[in-house]
Amino acid sequence: MILTWMIGGAQGSGVDTAANLFGNTLGKAGYYLFGNREYYSNIKGRHSYFNLTISDKPKHSLSEKVDILTTFDAETVFQHFHEVKGHLIYNKGLENTKIDTVQSIEPELVEEISRRLGSYGNTISAAVKFAAEKGVQVIPIDYDQIARDVAFQLKVALSVVERVKNIAAVAASYGLLGLKEEYLMQSISRSFRNELYSKMNTIGAKMAMSYVKPAYDMKELPVDKRVQIDGNTASAMGKIAAGLRFQTYYPITPASDESTYIEAHQEVLTIDPDTGDKKRSPIVVVQTEDELAAVNMAIGAALTGVRAATATSGPGFSLMAEGIGWAGMDEVPVVITYYIRGAPSTGLPTRSGQSDLKFALNVGHGEFPRIVIASGDHVEVFKDAIWAFNLAERYQTPVIHLIEKGLANAYTTVDVKELDYSHIPGDRGKIVEGGENYLRFKLAEDGISPRAFLGRAHMYYTGDEHNEEGHISEASSNRIAMYAKRMKKLETADAEIPETQRVSVFGDSENVILTWGSPKGAVLDAMEMLEKDGIRVQLVQLRMFSPFPTRYVTKLLSGKSKIINIENSYTGQAASVVKEHTGIEATNHVLKWNGRPITRDEVYRSIKLILERNEKKVILDAGA
């Protein structure tokens, strides 16, 4: 069972709260959720929306069309009417609103929507008619009447109850599901501590529900212990679990929510290994003056032995290039959580993308070992955040953890047992006390010199080429050996980290889908859809790009009929990285660079197109 739902509204108008409340209700009712928030780089007034997949089994992707679209403003209808296949709930009072009077819609988009509406006209009524003619049930709701009634009942001014429309929209859509009303009412009273708001929304919700009749016949399901988390939180939790003690950040979308979460949970509970006593320990969180400071401060902290990290996204990462190089040169374990958003430059700051992969792989002048991992879903985000620290300390090198905005701001429900990490040992690598003649950069077969913490022994660090002691050295033979020692670590890592941990494989077929990051979910969900049509494909998901699992990928891709690269970029970067390492070329490409996540429907359709017509390049464009 799978149901897709959407709500939209202006930023700052309470649509966030409404969507979360709806999600919570469904979660409580035992459903798995995968939801994503799309929004403009704007604080108030521009259009934002939530796209939610609700299912009795875990799902990891979005759909292109939704069963239910619930709205209370005009823009949401204009932006999304063509995406609805089941029910469209709209504000009756806005029927005559014309598209060109909705100022928050960008001129390009007005043109496009007008073209789409064509002869239907240019009003909400036209859009609704368009949908209705395509078989959508359209449900007008008199939100103004509801607001007036609520204001009257509570004896407050109309302006006070303005926001009841959000919850009314949620409630109307909830009413279609066939679930118990009390679930929703409980969510409302949990969400609104303020008594007036709680009452107002309860009344409003009931009124709205009276407009609709159950249409989807959903039942409550038994729930295991489940959490609802977004990618930012998953990463933060993973870091904290791994023992993070120092996090720096400079505000940037979509990364800073991670740091804000850590800041709000700055005192963590720890257990004293010797006594078993529990106590609070501090995580130092510093909002720095810029990302140059953020990365270098984290590096400085890492030298003292704390697990230190920073989190940023494209523009900030660009500023970290030099610092990451120093960490590589000085063999500092530091984790950089890299949230990828729409690029280049300021780009689409609140949208998603995967076009920063090759930059992450090549950041910083010169050659130094770096480890780059990429998560494909929320559980991976959580566990990779732990893995990242283990890798950083074991190989004494910066680790870049890639998470796309499409995961960061997406949320999902996960069975708590999936977050169990007790099988992941904490690995701090070669740590020593130091002592008198300690040599921080002692040459070693595997490239890894025993590391002492700054403050425990005396030692030297420099970004210049250095000798074993850490003093500047320009001697040719020292240079050759020290450089090779550093690079050797990557070979050691390549030998030690099982390739099967660096690539995930799902299914088996002569037709392979190659992807990484968030498209994983869409591909997995599409694979189920394809399977119903009797089509089997194999998914090869790249989890670590450096050191690259060359042998395994070569083996996996050799002799396949089709290698279909699916990516949120223009040039298909992962495919070119694969080719660089293996010489094997993707045969087909499915690419999307409009900043919106890839949906399972798009994957489904593209794969069919490719298998049936051998389309070389499919360009995707779903998402308003």
Partner 1 sequence: MQALRKPEWNDWCPGCGDFGILSAEEMAIKELGLDLKKVVLVSGIGCSGKIPHFMRLPVSGVHTLHGRALAFATGVKLANPELEVIVNGGDGDQLGIGAGHFVNAGRRNTDITVILHDNMVYGLTKGQAAPTLKRGEKPKSLPRPNINDAINPIAMAIAAGYTFVARGYSYDVKFLKDIIKAAIKHKGSAFLDVLQPCPTYNDINTKEWYEKRIYKMTDLDPVVKEPGETVEKMTKGIARSYEWGDRIPLGIFYQNELVPTYEERIASNAPSYKNTVPANEKIVHEGKFTTLIDDLINEKVV
Ligand X SMILES: Cc1ncc(C[n+]2csc(CCOP(=O)(O)OP(=O)(O)O)c2C)c(N)n1
Q: Dig out the tokens for 458 from the structure.
A: 């005396």
**Residue 348 found at the interface with a second copy (CB under 8 A):** yes
Pick the closer one to partner 1 by CB: 137 or 260.
Answer: 260
Q: What residues contact 376, with CB distance under 8 A and at least 6 apart?
A: 504, 516, 517, 518, 519, 520, 521, 541, 543
Q: What residues contact 320, with CB distance under 8 A and at least 6 apart?
A: 291, 292, 294, 295, 310, 312, 336, 363
CB of 325 to ligand X, least distance (A): 10
41 binds, among ligand SF4, ligand X, a second copy, none (CB under 5 to 8 A by kind): a second copy
Pick the closer one to a second copy by CB: 340 or 526.
Answer: 340
Q: Which of 358, 326, 364, 322 is nearest to 340 (CA)?
A: 358
CB of 225 to partner 1, least distance (A): 6
570 binds, among ligand X, a second copy, ligand SF4, none (CB under 5 to 8 A by kind): a second copy
Q: What residues contact 524, with CB distance under 8 A and at least 6 apart?
A: 60, 61, 506, 539
Q: What residues contact 342, with CB distance under 8 A and at least 6 apart?
A: 348, 349, 350, 351, 352, 353, 405, 595
Pick the closer one to ligand X by CB: 34 or 339.
Answer: 339
Judged by CB under 8 A, the chain residues 103 through 142 that form the site for a second copy are 106-109, 112
CB of 470 to ligand X, least distance (A): 18
Pick the closer one to a second copy by CB: 194 or 345.
Answer: 345
Pick the closer one to a second copy by CB: 204 or 398.
Answer: 398
**Residue 264 found at the interface with ligand SF4 (CB under 6 A):** no
Q: Dig out the tokens for 522 from the structure.
A: 């869409």
CB of 23 to a second copy, least distance (A): 24
CB of 245 to partner 1, least distance (A): 4
CB of 277 to partner 1, least distance (A): 11
DSSP for residue 344 = S
Distance CA 615, CA 602 (A): 14
Q: Count residues contacting ligand X (CB under 6 A)?
A: 8
Q: Helix 15-28 vs helix 164-175: angle between axes, to the nearest 10 degrees?
A: 30
Among 3, 252, 371, 459, binds ligand X (CB under 6 A): 252
Among 477, 532, 612, 613, binds a second copy (CB under 8 A): 477
Pick the closer one to a second copy by CB: 159 or 345.
Answer: 345
Pick the closer one to ligand SF4 by CB: 11 or 541.
Answer: 11
Pick the closer one to partner 1 by CB: 18 or 212.
Answer: 18
Q: Which residue matches tokens 């390049």?
A: 617
Pick the closer one to ligand SF4 by CB: 43 or 495.
Answer: 43
Q: Is 57 helix (H, G, I), strand (E, B) or coil?
A: coil
CB of 44 to ligand SF4, least distance (A): 6
Give the residue nearest to ligand X (CB).
Answer: 315
Q: What is the dihedral of CA 371, 231, 342, 543, to 10 degrees?
A: 30
Q: Is 599 helix (H, G, I), strand (E, B) or coil?
A: coil
CB 32 within 8 A of CB 15: no
43 binds, among ligand SF4, ligand X, a second copy, none (CB under 5 to 8 A by kind): ligand SF4
CB of 466 to ligand X, least distance (A): 15
Judged by CB under 8 A, the chain residues 550 through 589 that form the site for a second copy are 569-571, 576-577, 579-580, 583-585
**Residue 13 found at the interface with ligand SF4 (CB under 6 A):** no
Among 21, 23, 27, 43, binds ligand SF4 (CB under 6 A): 43
**Residue 289 found at the interface with a second copy (CB under 8 A):** no
CB 120 within 8 A of CB 130: yes
Pick the closer one to partner 1 by CB: 218 or 584.
Answer: 218
Residue 280 Cα to chain centre, angstroms: 30
Judged by CB under 6 A, the chain residues 338 through 367 that form the site for ligand X are 346
**Residue 157 found at the interface with ligand SF4 (CB under 6 A):** no
**Residue 319 found at the interface with ligand X (CB under 6 A):** yes
Q: Dig out the tokens for 46 from the structure.
A: 């521009």
Among 9, 35, 204, 316, binds ligand X (CB under 6 A): 316
Judged by CB under 8 A, the chain residues 593 through 612 that form the site for a second copy are 593-596
Pick the closer one to ligand SF4 by CB: 44 or 417.
Answer: 44
Which own/partner pairs from 140-144 qualify as long-range (CB within 8 Å, at least 24 positions apart)? Answer: 140/90, 140/91, 140/92, 140/95, 141/72, 141/89, 141/90, 141/91, 141/92, 141/168, 141/169, 141/172, 141/208, 141/211, 142/92, 142/93, 143/72, 143/91, 143/92, 143/93, 143/168, 143/169, 144/91, 144/93
**Residue 14 found at the interface with ligand X (CB under 6 A):** no
173 binds, among a second copy, ligand X, partner 1, none (CB under 5 to 8 A by kind): none
CB 212 within 8 A of CB 172: yes
448 binds, among a second copy, partner 1, ligand X, none (CB under 5 to 8 A by kind): none
Q: Dig out the tokens for 225 from the structure.
A: 């212990």
CB of 170 to partner 1, least distance (A): 17
Sheet holding 371-374, edge to edge: 284-287, 244-249, 307-313, 335-342, 399-404, 371-374, 544-546
CB 242 within 8 A of CB 390: yes
95 binds, among partner 1, a second copy, ligand SF4, none (CB under 5 to 8 A by kind): none
Interface residue list for ligand SF4 (CB under 6 A): 43-44
Binding residues for ligand X, rule: CB under 6 A, are 250-252, 291, 315-316, 319, 346
